[in-house]
Amino acid sequence: MKDKIIFTNEGQAIRETNYWNTKHAAAGLVFLSWNAGAARLLVPDAAKGLLSEMRGTKYVIISRGSYAGRDALELLFEDGSDAPFCIHIMVEQSDRMLPVNEQGGGFVVTIWTRGGQKHRYDGKYRVVATLPCLEPWSEQ
């Protein structure tokens, strides 16, 4: 991502960001920002249809691994079905990566649009060799 994305935070909440007016947002690319124990997924206007795919989510598993030879993240919106909704993003679509020793839970995943926060889920994090992983969560 070449656009510099700026955030003004209020704890886990996003008080202000320039993301909504970037070329990447206009292209429909999501962005994952981390702050104060929250992974905040920003969904641009061009991708608002993703919100309906998230209905029924119980928790979100964020897996970090190699996708086509590049460092990437998988966000699996676990709903208990055989085919939960999933998003894959490159690390450039996130403002930081969690270290391996932070695997497990203890954080939240919030979903944001230009209009504010839309959803909030418990989050789980793991490091895997390759993506897509698409595996259910198992305590490690």
Tell me the per-residue pLDDT of 57-104, one tens digit each, with 9 for 90 and over: 999 999 999 999 999 999 999 999 999 999 999 999 999 988 888 899
- SS3 letters for 19-57? HHHCHHHHCCCCEEEEECCEEEEECCHHHCCHHHHCCCC
Please give the model's pTM, rounded to 2 decimal places. Answer: 0.94
Q: Strand 104-113 relative to strand 38-42: parallel, antiparallel, unpaired?
A: parallel
Average pLDDT over residues 41-64: 97
Q: Which residue has the tokens 């979903």?
A: 111
pLDDT at 124: 97
DSSP 8-state code for residue 78 = E
Tell me the per-residue pLDDT of 28-41, one tens digit each, with 9 for 90 and over: 999 999 999 999 99
Comparing C-alpha atoms, which of 3, 123, 98, 118 is closest to residue 50?
Answer: 118
